[in-house]
Amino acid sequence: MKNTPLTEKHIALGARMAEFAGYNMPISYAGIKEEHHQVRNKVGVFDVSHMGEFIVRGKEALQLVQKITSNDASKLQIGDAQYSCFPNSQGGIVDDCLVYRLPQDMCAEGEQAFMLVVNASNIDKDWEWANRHNEFDTRLINISDQTALLAVQGPLAIEAMQPLTDVGLKELKYYTFTKGTFAGIDNVLISATGYTGAGGFELYVNTDKAAALWDSIFKAGASHNIQPIGLGARDTLRLEMGYCLYGNDIDDNTSPIEAGLGWITKTKKGDFISRDIFARQREEGVSRKLVGFILPEERRVPRHDYPIEDAEGKEIGKVTSGTLSPSLEYPVGMGYVQTAFAAPDTSIYIVAGKKRLEATVVKPPFYKP
């Protein structure tokens, strides 16, 4: 089991640690519910250094990114980021990812550079996939082991962290980034992508600077009662927003069209892996869709792989994610159902052992800050 550069910090703080994607990660500190509310209402810090980062650099870097990702990276200006995915050759999803268009000082004249940020559990798979399709005048560099990533999230994140940098954090628009000095550390990549719906930003830094950055963040944020946050609250926060989690809501057997990710699947941008499959699915429709659902009268949580039935008891799908929403105080979830049952306000039934829990299909986000 691997450690992040901050594992010893988490242990010293009394975090409940567990294996996640091959890493020894903090699941919670004070408790998932308390940490969830801390991020929704104040400010908290996640160590997400287990994520993977690949640099794509060369004269044909854009061509490679366009080939292996579903979104249109040609639209990115320097300083822009983009949510995307790696389609496989059968119309499924190898992984979802972030694509960053990097500054020119990171490549030679006539070249372009991008950074792909991938899920920890898929680093090796994604690296092999990207290299397999690299038929271009460009090179891939895996900087995952040299890169630490901290996510400072919450409505007070900017106010708490602004004293640590000359970069105007308030001016950093959603899905953009910049490089600058942060807490006295040069060349920190500061981005505003987020996975919580609570606002804030992410800090990419060399692993040997991670501990110093962590300490500076907590010193500067002390007056705002900044707190460390584990992966348990990260999951409840993302689920309240209806954000997909790879391995639960999307995987090698789910199409981005089925998953409601048609907005990152640009079939008119030119050729890319599984483009024709997605174009056909758009034209002909799909047999199932990923939907959100709520259970406002229940307390029992819908769990991954619980069957979903119609009113007559016929199985129509399965739950992919579910939680008791700390913000709403009732269960919410997502799952794939037959398309005929995907419209908002449709009644569906979650099978939890011998109980059938009535749920209502809704369009995420479940919680609107």
Question: Domain locations in the chain?
Answer: 7-51+146-240, 287-362
Q: What is the largest CA-CA distance in the chain?
A: 65
Query: For position 158, what pLDDT does the model report?
Result: 97
Query: For position 107, what pLDDT does the model report?
Result: 79
Does residue 202 sit in helix, strand or coil?
Answer: strand
Query: For position 105, what pLDDT does the model report?
Result: 81
Residue 79 CB partners (closer than 8 Å, separation 6+): 101, 103, 176, 177, 178
Contact 246, 61 (CB under 8 A): no
Residues of the chain with pLDDT under 70: none
Radius of gyration of the chain (CA): 21
In this chain, the answer to whether the domains covering 7-51+146-240 and 287-362 adopt an identical fold is no
CATH 3.30.1360.120, domain 7-51+146-240, yes or no: yes
| Other beta carbons less than 10 A from residue 90's beta carbon | 11
Query: For position 106, what pLDDT does the model report?
Result: 78
Contact 28, 230 (CB under 8 A): yes
Residue 319 CB partners (closer than 8 Å, separation 6+): 302, 303, 304, 305, 306, 307, 308, 333, 334, 335, 350
Amino acid (one-letter) located at 167: V
User: What burial class does residue 21 get, using C-beta atoms within 10 Å of its C-beta: 0-12 exposed, 13-18 middle, 19+ buried?
Assistant: middle
Does residue 3 sit in helix, strand or coil?
Answer: coil
Query: For position 268, what pLDDT does the model report?
Result: 97
Query: For position 301, what pLDDT does the model report?
Result: 96
The fold of the 287-362 domain, in CATH, is: Elongation Factor Tu (Ef-tu); domain 3 (2.40.30)
